[in-house]
Chain A
Amino acid sequence: MIGRLFLAYAFSFSLCLSLAQAADPAKKTGTLSFEKDVRKILKVHCLHCHGEVGVKEGNLDLRLMRLMVKGGDSGPAIVPGKSGESELISRVVAHEMPPEDKHMPQAEIEILKRWIDQGAQTLHPEPEKIEADYLAPDDLAFWSFQPVKNYPVPKVKNSKRVKQPVDAFLLAKLEAQGLSFSSQASKTSLARRAFYDLTGLPPTPEELKLFLDDTNANAYEKLIDRLLASKHYGERWGRHWLDVAGYADSEGYNTRDAERPWAFRYRDYVIRAFNEDKPYDQFLREQIAGDEMVKPPYKNLNPTDLEKLVATGFLRMAPDGTGSNPAEKEVAKNQVVTDTINIVSSSVLGMTVACAQCHDHKYDPIPQNDYYRFRAIFEPALDWKNWRAPVSRRISIMSDADRKIANGFEVEAKKVLAERTKLVNKFIDRTLERELLVVPKEKRELTRAAYKTVSKKRTKEQVALLKSFPRIDRLSAGSLYLYDRTLVEQSAKATQESKELGKTLVEKIEKETLSKIPEAQKQIALAAKKADAKKRTEEQKKIIAAYPALLVSVSNLAKFDPKGAAQIQHLKDEAKRLTGLKTVAVLKKYADDAAKIRTKKPKEEFIRVLTEVPGKVPKTFFFNRGDFEQPKHELLPAGLSVIKSNLKQSVEIPSKNKTLPTTGRRLAYINYLTNGKHPLTARVFVNRVWLHHFGKGIVASPTDFGKLGIPPTHLELLDWMSHDFVAHGWKIKRLHKMLMTSTAYMQRSQRSNDYDQVDPDNLLYGRMPVRRLEAETIRDSIIAVTGKLKTDLYGQPVPVKEDEVGQIVVGIANVDTAGRQKKALKMDDRQFRRSIYVAVSRSKPLAVLDMFDAPKMEPNCEKRASSTVAPQSLLMMNSGFMLEHAAYFADRLAKERTGNKSDQVKLAWILSYGKEPSAEELKQSVEFIDLQIAQFKTTKVKTNKTPEQLALATFCQALLSSNGFLYLD
């Protein structure tokens, strides 16, 4: 099974619906138009077969009003003014059209009818000619496809509240509604807000003090500078980017969900890029076309080239089942291409290009041809006809020097192994000879010859002969170890025989000797034999002297029966000889030696990259209905037509850049996207940064800037910021500082009735929102307050496993081949690393993250949800993770503020909430701890903790479960 047991009985949930409900035209009075009301209905239901991509079934094209009047094989589709006589209406009403199981909703039929009855009006004259990729003028005019404008900063009445130009844009709209910004938040609130927004961690008491004690006017600005310089900034903002990139450490696609080694280097690249404040245009160029900026062959890479190649890991983030033997291989390959296009277009362009894979986009002006032009940009690297499986497309980053060293050791190891092979052959011969002993003499020579003949060349007789001696037949280097067991058995047998023979011979001599002794003396003889040598009587000594053989034993047998003794010795020698022939230990030593030599080799490591195979340029075809088995016409690489039309400049993406070994398509495309003129690149990114600071985007649908997305609440502001961002070199940290030092960001988050009356959803930004911490931030903060957080950066992912009750936890899996849990392995302190370093397994999401809405990468995450459900509460109340960390937290308090409950509470408060408790809070907390101590004193359940420790831990748990900890104000 997929292995994830959801526990999601939710009792309440709030969701910001990012839906653009079309304003209800059924209720609209007045005149309907083709452009505004009708075309979109036809686009969804009809145009796929009647107009798009040159398809005109029944010779009917419905893309223009005049073509509808002209009609097709069945005559005019509409008769303006007479819906009752319009073929289109009667077909739709009769459910004949659209065909198959689809039918048009009644409300939409009503609109068509009314439009026809009103005379089938258009707003503008219709074009004379219409091409396959026809884009209607109203589609071209859509806001997000227009160039970014540098709007002037508006004038406001209360200019004192303007700290940054963004404030003016916001305040102007607030003032228009008779509103203003809220007052400034407290210093402690601002600190917590800034720490979480920039590092995803709570302030330490020392960091907090540094800021609170700083009474200079620029204290806050200095704090922002310190946080932007923190190494944890990259982890926080890298995580946001990894969401849109769809980062995962497993391949996904099918239930096998194989591990995806080396993906982490891309994750580290992203963290580094943010920490270094890499300009966004460069960041994108490296991710989309880093390989095209490096000269192949990709060997002996310098750090800069290595970085560029690792960056292309972005284009390798899609779920990829092609390495795990998928049932339908071609489907799996094409799915990787589809998902990659999906990731690029949603993250960088903020467009749902994927919707145009099977037909023209139903809502946005993206013809199906555009989808395959877009695909052509990536196809030389993602060539499904010449697919490279994950293992064969990675690049080794071993230097030639290291490789030389490695090869040297390999030669050495091979030498040892060659000696071993010689020995193996010798041992096989030896074993063969031994085994031949059971073959009747007359057949031995034939059997030996048969065995020595290469199996393919054996005659039928030889095969039959060998079959009757399976032990010889099966003898090989691989089975040699099994014959050790035979040797042990044979040796044991010889030993046993020697013992039995010894016993028999001794008994025989004893018997013979006794029979020689007269009856009267027999008792004395027997007593003498039993008696201790030193205590023998004279009489006994005498009889022994007369009959020395009375004292016969295996060890002195030679004296009395030299021949027998020799026989025994022979058996013993044979046993020893047989044991000495064992081969396993001898051969193992050679293998071990070789392995030991190999450990000295420098370790070979890899990077996951997207590259092209120079010289191989596949053709890209239009797939009918998105089906790769129905390729139609060829298409050449290009960006979206709608943007090209609006830019009014020729933007070419040549099929082959002659100056590069690769096609140069991606490089040309990303240069175009980052030339500062593209209407979407900067807008989409600036909107994302805004979203993570203010809780929602200016465009509330961050991956959909199209018609189904949500229009910007502040278009002028978005454009001003986008322009400013590009004009100042795409610098991200600068943008953070500008936003975080604005009046808007520094406001209080409290609601007021007066404000809520006008703007209950805070669309005008008259206050800051109260925001719940994200999944990773919750986990990281809990670990941070216990003092156990490991703050090292980068590296191999921390493993996750299914624990004995099926929850996914951090740990090293120890499961046998049948899937049974074996002994739990102790986890090292990697369990205290930040969540960004915990392996992202698509099928095994870490329970505590999954519960708090960590994204499922299928293929990437557009925007996180923030749910409030009872299972989260149960996790806070009862999960092993919480109880364990509450205990660590308590240990820290007890250690750092030994013996003083008030001081312990104060420290806990500062660590959890970033402020001191009030007198009342302090009193209640101490009371609670005392109450719990009394409670735990009465408990009969045995634990290894004192009541004081347990009580303090439940106090800590309460703080960590509380809203004050889980929310930012």
Chain B
Amino acid sequence: MIHQTQTTGTHTRRHFLASSSMGIGSVALSWLLKQDPLLAKDPAIRPELVNKHFDLIPKPTHHAPKAKAMISMFMQGGPSHLDMFDPKPMLQKYDGKKFPGDIKYDNAAQASSTVLGSPWKFSKHGECGTELSELLPGLSEVVDDIVVMRSMHTSVNNHGQSIYAMHTGRILAGRPTLGSWLTYGLGSESENLPAYIAMVDPGGAPVLGVNNWTNGWLPSLYQGTVIRPKEPRILNLNAPPHLSGKAQEKYLDFLVKLNQRHLSQHPGEDDLSARIASYELAAKMQTAATEALDLSKETKATQALYGIDVPESAEFGKRCLISRRLIERGVRFVQIMTGNQHWDHHNSMRTALPRTCKRVDVPSAGLVKDLKQRGLLDETLVHWGGEMGRLPVIQNDAGIAKQGRDHNTYGFSMWLAGGGLKGGMTYGATDEFGHHAVVDKVSPSDYHATLMHLFGMDAERLTFTRNGAEQSLIDRQVNRIVHDIIA
């Protein structure tokens, strides 16, 4: 059987784990590790009535994977592609003039048809010469390692539906999120950390709240685990000081004895074994999670790389650094969230957008640099993006200071790095005003098919049976793998 032995000397859980030799480990873990379809032997008994077991042990893929883990920075609200990623000379030319076409507005009360040229300068960076605006000095340093996708679209003009499209493939509520599909399809590389982690912002969860990391109708095993923005980062992780350590170990030892005797009276009850194992795993998690969340071992230089030394970016930087530590330890999918409508710059864009960029620019670029220098970037897919972009025209034309841009789900940008992707390129294009994606359009399903492909999975073949139908992340929508960006 597969049973990791702790070799580092000081783990407080050693004593508890040693009790595994009594057999608890073997019973429980072998139960956890077995992949037994448990099909009934009597043909009269319908196989679908059987209790199916789900687990997180690593699963074989459809083809050789390039990516093994993913860190997604979800920029909820709609970062303005026109001011950050997608330079449009026509915008500057028409700045202040009437937009020569049709616009799909969200907020009619503040709509205007006056074009707003970007107030920020774009210039070429890196060997590849990708153009980015001056709002992104950090990212400009890693352009050779990233793909800027300039042709994303969801085409449903509000936050909720677009978030669902980006997370779950459909604009409807109730479906599993990307992280759930990945952990369902691939399992976890970690025995003692959650496979799917959602890191919530101090500014609160994004629009749709817990639905950003829901398992939908997949078993709850595949739900994202929340790491809180403040201590305690994981609830109930540790006992109060007077009960932790030896006292808790002895309590767990005694509990094992009670449960073993109970199990011996109910041999073959998987759920009882599973609960015994869940205590063992909980205890292991205490050590593992505490260690993974502890940034004190990271050098000053590493911390600076993530902008932790700068007040504006420290908080986001810490979460980026924790993400790296988590995927290093085998976590499959980490999503770092920005706060509720953080990027929804309907108003006062000239002051608000630079402030928002300052929070995330250096940390997100630092993450790419750090993963690269540690040799982790090849196997780690990094994603940065939101659910929409912004319109080429002014919203709230009440003086320069108050101007903003309204929602635009017809064309927007995001960037990806690592995990088997090419670096130093842009992909796709919007029209000359940046309103609609027109060249090499990428839908959420295209994006999902591509990243599942990088993980060695055929997104349409990774299915879950529900209501008698095979369900997938793609859900029978037209999709394509964007091979042009794959190395």
Residues of A near any B CB (own CB < 8 A): 1-17, 19-22, 95, 101-103, 105, 177, 255, 363, 700, 708, 710-711, 713, 749-751, 756-761, 763, 770, 772, 805-807, 847, 865-879, 883, 921, 924, 928, 931-932, 935-936, 939, 941-943, 950, 954-955, 957-959, 961-964, 966-967, 969
Contacts and interface: CB of A to CB of B under 8 A. Distances in A.
B237 A878 contact: yes
Contacts of B477: 101-102
Given A2-B209, A763-B49, A751 B266 contact: yes
A756 B269 CA distance: 11
A581 B251 CA distance: 71
A710 B32 CA distance: 28
A8 B262 contact: no
Interface string B451-487: 0000000000000011110100000111000000000
A878 B236 contact: yes
14 contacts: A9-B225, A10-B223, A12-B31, A12-B55, A20-B48, A21-B48, A102-B477, A363-B468, A751-B268, A757-B41, A805-B235, A870-B278, A963-B275, A963-B276
Nearest to B443: A101
B45 interface: yes
Contact of B271 (A758, A772, A871, A961): A772
Interface stretch (B142-150, B253-261, B294-302): B253-261
A707 to B, nearest CB: 8
B53 interface: yes
Contact of B254 (A7, A21, A751, A958): A958
Contacts of B261: 921
Contact of A873 (B250, B262, B278): B278
B38 A873 contact: no
A6 B225 contact: yes
Contacts of B246: 935
Across the A-B interface, the 10 shortest Cβ-Cβ residue pairs: A9-B194, A2-B209, A873-B282, A9-B225, A1-B204, A1-B205, A13-B221, A941-B242, A10-B221, A101-B477
Interface of B: 31-32, 38, 40-42, 44-56, 193-197, 200, 204-205, 209-210, 213, 219-221, 223-226, 228, 232, 234-243, 246-248, 250-252, 254-255, 257-259, 261-263, 265-272, 274-279, 281-283, 285-286, 340, 465-468, 470, 476-478
Given A16-B51, A103-B476, A966 B275 contact: yes
Given A19-B466, A177-B42, 19 more contacts: A5-B200, A8-B224, A10-B221, A13-B54, A14-B54, A17-B48, A17-B465, A255-B209, A713-B49, A758-B42, A761-B45, A806-B228, A874-B282, A878-B236, A878-B239, A878-B240, A932-B250, A932-B251, A941-B241
B56 A11 contact: yes
Nearest to A13: B221
B262 A962 contact: yes
B209 A749 contact: no
A611 B159 CA distance: 37
B476 A101 contact: yes
Contact of B235 (A102, A806, A954): A806
Contact of A883 (B210, B240, B271): B240
A175 to B, nearest CB: 14
Contacts of A876: 279
B476 A770 contact: no
Nearest to A881: B236
A708 B468 CA distance: 7
A868 B239 contact: no
A958 B255 contact: yes
B45 A759 contact: yes
A172 to B, nearest CB: 14
Nearest to A711: B46
B258 A759 contact: no
Given A761-B51, A939-B242, A13 B476 contact: no
Nearest to A819: B204
A15 B281 CA distance: 20
B210 A950 contact: no
A9 B179 CA distance: 12
A362 to B, nearest CB: 9
A72 to B, nearest CB: 24
A963 B272 contact: yes
Contacts of A964: 258-259, 262
A877 B239 contact: yes
B239 A11 contact: no
B242 A943 contact: yes
A40 B144 CA distance: 53
B83 to A, nearest CB: 27
Contacts of B478: 95, 101, 103
Contacts of A17: 48, 50-52, 465
A95 B478 CA distance: 10
B53 A763 contact: no
Which of A757, A874, A935 counts the most B-chain CB atoms under 10 A from its CB? A874
Contacts of B194: 9
A511 to B, nearest CB: 64
B389 to A, nearest CB: 22
Nearest to B209: A2
A759 B42 contact: yes
Nearest to B269: A770
A103 B478 CA distance: 8
Nearest to A363: B468
B40 to A, nearest CB: 6
Contacts of A959: 258
Contacts of B283: 877
Nearest to B237: A874
B45, B52, B234, B251 — most chain A CB neighbours (10 Å): B251
Contacts of A11: 32, 55-56, 221, 277-278, 281
Given A363-B468, A928-B250, A963 B238 contact: no
Nearest to B234: A7
Nearest to B200: A5
Contacts of A761: 40, 45, 49-51
